[in-house]
Structure 1
Amino acid sequence: MGCCVSTSSRSTCSSGSNGDTVTPSCLELGFCGPNRASRTFSDHVISLRQLPSLPNRIVNNGKSRSSCIFTQQGRKGVNQDAMIVWEDFMSEDTIFCGVFDGHGPHGHLVARKARDVLPLKLLSSLHSCESKRNRSGKAGFKENIKLDNGESDKDISAQDEPNLIWREAFLKAYHAMDKELRSHRNLDCFCSGSTAVTIVKQGSNLFMGSIGDSRAIMGSKDSNDSMLAIQLTVDLKPDLPREAERIKRCKGRVFALQDEPEVHRVWLPFDDAPGLAMARAFGDFCLKEYGVISIPEFYHQVLTDGDQFIVIASDGVWDVLSNEEVVEIVSSAPTRSSAARIVVASAAREWKLKYPTSKMDDCAVVCLFLDGKMDSESDCDEQCFSSATIQSNHSGNPVESDDVQKSEPSLRRNYTVRTSEENVTDGGLSVDAGDGISSAEEQNWSGLEGVTRVNSLVQLPRFSEERPNALL
């Protein structure tokens, strides 16, 4: 499948293909920690098909030793959100977690692909960066970082070096992920894409990469033992000055529609499409020549004793709940293992209250508790809550499926949707048995399908015969 990852910890060194001994590097040791179980990159590899069998990797509603995750389908069709928590990611005190929010006709497939492949790309990139450092020495590695990022890294200390290696690894991994999507034979990403917020917790360090408008926050106690909400990532929207400037330099256009003046979108230079509501994303190759990029914003944070938990969620949550509200919900949850699903349930209630004429967006939440502890909860309670949530909201299930939800009853329109004459019927989209979506001939795919508030895409572009090579 083109991706592999080391999972065995049976030895502290291994033999390469040429018989040479490979010494464990800071990739395996995580830059410190003599008590950590070390792993070498070539100890044992698994393919993407073997990922579901990994005991410390969860992608469906549930909990792990230190986290809980939950997603619920909205009322717009197939659930396009994906999430992951991977404990013992490359050593015993390293955790990878992330949320991916797809958009466009194949957005759910892009999100799942990124969820499965990006962690492996990150491991591979870390191994590559560490090998480069060992070959070139510290001075050479500093110069490589400067060339790759276009930034000046002066007077790099020993404490800064891990940060630089992780930053380089995130940049390489995101680039490789987008490159694989572009060349994928069976997945059309021309007008489909996904956000990504990914975090690696390694000891007291957080290394984060983000594209799109999903968000990560942290709940932390101050000196007075009061809970604070700390936003860890920036929502990369087209109206951010630096993002808008880049897009305009690439001849893309940024403006808001008259009926949704608060939502700035990215448009092709020659067509009022696709109207992407984010400045960075995986996929969306129709806009990659016009300013939309997949280069992540990289963040590094050192945890303190007051830091309690991290919440990563798709914009279906942040559209209706503030950072402070989410921190309050998680900190007051009756059990830690129920925190993620209570956040989703709270978001669902707020959607009904704040946007009663709109279709609720998909919601995905990852809650990571930084002390590494998780309380117990009976399987019966888990099942009862999940069933009640699904039945009461008529929405998605914890089992991945590409089936499109049955059409919703007609709802009263709100201010931000098209008139009935402009709407596209539900019959224009269907999911086939081969993990793909087909659209009816001569129909536009519309992100404002039905009754919605804000969608990531407005519609797919149409290219006239006069511009057959417009995007080549």
Structure 2
Amino acid sequence: MGCTNKAQRGKVVVPNNISKINASYPSKAKLQIKQKDSSGKQTGISSIAFNFTKPFLFSAENLTLPNVTHVSRCVLPGIDPRGENEKKCQDICLYIYNKEDILLALFDGHGKEGEKVVAVCASVVESFFKENIENYRENPEKFLEDLCNSCDSNVKTTGNGIDSTNSGSTAVVVLVHNNSIYAASLGDSRALLGTGLVSGELPVPKAQNHEDNKHKYPLIQGIIPVQLTKDQKPEDPDEYARILKNGGIIKRINDNGKQIGPFRVFDSSGKYPGLAMSRSIGDSSGSSLGVISTPICTSLPLNNKEKFIVLASDGVWDVIDNEDVVTFIENFRKKCLQTCSPPVQVEASTTIIANLLAEEARMRWLNIISEEDVMIDDISVIVLQFKENE
């Protein structure tokens, strides 16, 4: 069930100069990284310079479907700024449509076989949509559930060349069908709606992800962020109860007496699998511990005030909150190109909106690197834009 919510319109606030910003992103970076000892005390500073990765996936299309007009996608591979570790891109996102419906899907892989897992999932999505969408017209949520479980069973199939013991993927899938939005998710990739009006029930409780380090701008006039999917973390009460019932342990990693990182799922030994999510595709070692592949599904009827849907991996959500994502997209989407090839110089006037948001996320990762000396995560974005009805 959603959270009952009276009709509300976008906040009327003065933009913090975002409308005057010419979003422009470099192809390389120079950073000062703080060096710290095991207690977290700074012991020095190191300087590094590195080139940013080029898009792994990049495409956009104008659409003639009911309700929607344009879709774009971009995947920016992650990078180790120090160049000490080879980082394979483990994100994939795609869209597929017929004359009436459009399906958006995004997978964020993990583990040694993560890139194989997401490749299988992308293949399953395309074939499952083409072969089965007509059979689920009256039950689109069942379609999404069966699609996610089909991805999981294909990943775990013996003899497919994938060891899914400790490898898997998140999933977020959105279907726009019959004047409604249907969403399903596994893990912590997320779908978000930018709209001018919310009425009735929210698909999931309002996200409590507003953090100062993820937020730069106040909401602009007439845009409201509505989260369509629920992040599935092990510490969530419902997820926690299921995992404990199946013999799992939920804890954070202990580093010399200091609790670090997110809560994770472990077996009784406390060593494996260390999953930072409670539902996923693959991850066979977590199946007996209550880590399931059945997604949480939601739905929301269209009211002709929708502006766009964005799907993104945690490479975005770890550094930008919901409010800033919708503010950024709303401000720049009409300034971006409808179709193009990956540009040499990335700015609003030279690229698609999915690429622009991904680049904004990547720039925000630089602050984290300077403080924590980590790698930049893979960053995936799909943006679907709706017809505007005045």
Name the TM-score, length of structure 1 as normaliser: 0.56
Matched, 1:344 2:351: no
- Do the aligned partners of 1:68 and 1:336 also contact (CA within 8 Å) in 2? no
Look up the SS of the partner of 1:257 in the other structure.
strand
- Do the aligned partners of 2:368 and 2:374 also contact (CA within 8 Å) in 1? no
* RMSD over aligned Cα atoms: 2.2
Q: Counterparts of 1:18-167 in structure 2 under 5 Å? A: 60-65=57-62, 66-76=70-80, 77-88=87-98, 92-122=99-129, 124-126=131-133, 162=138, 165-167=139-141
Q: What is the rounded CA distance, in whole Å, between the counterparts of 1:311 and 1:107 in structure 2?
A: 23
Could you report, residue by residue, the CA deviation over 1:300-327 in whole angstroms, capped at 9, with x for unpaired residues? 1111221100000000100000111111
Q: What is the rounded CA distance, in whole Å, between the counterparts of 2:133 and 2:57 in structure 1?
A: 26
The structure-2 alpha-carbon separation of the partners of 1:209 and 1:124, relative to structure 1 and needing over 3 Å to count, comes to farther
Match of 1:199 among 165, 174, 191: 174
1:114: Cα distance to partner? 0.5
Matched, 1:363 2:337: no
Counterpart residue number, 1:404: none
Counterpart residue number, 2:41: none
The structure-2 alpha-carbon separation of the partners of 1:335 and 1:246, relative to structure 1 and needing over 3 Å to count, comes to same
Q: What is the rounded CA distance, in whole Å, between the counterparts of 2:169 and 2:322 in structure 1?
A: 22
Q: What is the rounded CA distance, in whole Å, between the counterparts of 2:158 and 2:73 in structure 1?
A: 29
Look up the SS of the partner of 2:294 in the other structure.
coil
Superposition misfits of 4+ residues, deviation over 3 angstroms? 122-130, 222-225, 258-262
The structure-2 alpha-carbon separation of the partners of 1:173 and 1:125, relative to structure 1 and needing over 3 Å to count, comes to farther
Q: Counterparts of 1:250-399 in structure 2 under 5 Å? A: 250-258=246-254, 259-261=258-260, 263-333=262-332, 334-335=335-336, 337=338, 338-356=352-370, 357-371=373-387
Q: What is the rounded CA distance, in whole Å, between the counterparts of 1:317 and 1:287 in structure 2?
A: 26
Counterpart residue number, 1:213: 188
1:96: Cα distance to partner? 0.8
Q: What is the rounded CA distance, in whole Å, between the counterparts of 1:342 and 1:260 in structure 2?
A: 35
Matched, 1:228 2:228: no
Look up the SS of the partner of 1:178 in the other structure.
helix
- Do the aligned partners of 2:249 and 2:270 also contact (CA within 8 Å) in 1? no
1:119: Cα distance to partner? 4.0
Q: What is the rounded CA distance, in whole Å, between the counterparts of 1:372 and 1:100 in structure 2?
A: 29
Q: Counterparts of 1:416-435 in structure 2 under 5 Å? A: none
- Do the aligned partners of 2:57 and 2:76 also contact (CA within 8 Å) in 1? no
Q: What is the rounded CA distance, in whole Å, between the counterparts of 1:129 and 1:202 in structure 2?
A: 11
How many residue pairs are counted as aligned between the two chains? 279
The structure-2 alpha-carbon separation of the partners of 1:252 and 1:345, relative to structure 1 and needing over 3 Å to count, comes to same
1:267: Cα distance to partner? 0.7
Normalized per residue, the structure richer in strand is: 2
Letter in 2 for 1:320: V
The structure-2 alpha-carbon separation of the partners of 1:285 and 1:372, relative to structure 1 and needing over 3 Å to count, comes to farther
1:170: Cα distance to partner? 2.2
- Do the aligned partners of 2:249 and 2:266 also contact (CA within 8 Å) in 1? yes
The structure-2 alpha-carbon separation of the partners of 1:348 and 1:225, relative to structure 1 and needing over 3 Å to count, comes to closer
1:171: Cα distance to partner? 2.2
Q: What is the rounded CA distance, in whole Å, between the counterparts of 2:380 and 2:158 in structure 1?
A: 26
Counterpart residue number, 1:187: 162
Letter in 2 for 1:168: K
Counterpart residue number, 1:249: 245
Q: What is the rounded CA distance, in whole Å, between the counterparts of 2:60 and 2:314 in structure 1?
A: 22
Q: What is the rounded CA distance, in whole Å, between the counterparts of 2:379 and 2:259 in structure 1?
A: 22
The structure-2 alpha-carbon separation of the partners of 1:99 and 1:372, relative to structure 1 and needing over 3 Å to count, comes to farther
Look up the SS of the partner of 1:298 in the other structure.
strand
1:368: Cα distance to partner? 0.4
- Do the aligned partners of 1:219 and 1:229 also contact (CA within 8 Å) in 2? yes
Q: What is the rounded CA distance, in whole Å, between the counterparts of 1:62 and 1:240 in structure 2?
A: 36
Counterpart residue number, 1:466: none
1:81: Cα distance to partner? 0.4
The structure-2 alpha-carbon separation of the partners of 1:64 and 1:184, relative to structure 1 and needing over 3 Å to count, comes to farther
The structure-2 alpha-carbon separation of the partners of 1:188 and 1:372, relative to structure 1 and needing over 3 Å to count, comes to farther
- Do the aligned partners of 1:216 and 1:232 also contact (CA within 8 Å) in 2? yes
Q: What is the rounded CA distance, in whole Å, between the counterparts of 2:320 and 2:167 in structure 1?
A: 26
What's the % identity of the aligned pairs?
A: 27
Could you report, residue by residue, the CA deviation over 1:376-403 in whole angstroms, capped at 9, with x for unpaired residues? xxxxxxxxxxxxxxxxxxxxxxxxxxxx
Normalized per residue, the structure richer in helix is: 1
- Do the aligned partners of 1:121 and 1:177 also contact (CA within 8 Å) in 2? no
Q: What is the rounded CA distance, in whole Å, between the counterparts of 1:370 and 1:235 in structure 2?
A: 25
1:86: Cα distance to partner? 1.1
Q: What is the rounded CA distance, in whole Å, between the counterparts of 2:227 and 2:158 in structure 1?
A: 34
1:358: Cα distance to partner? 1.5
- Do the aligned partners of 2:304 and 2:388 also contact (CA within 8 Å) in 1? no
**Which ranges in structure 2 are unaligned for 5 or more consecutive residues?**
1-55, 63-69, 81-86, 199-219, 339-351
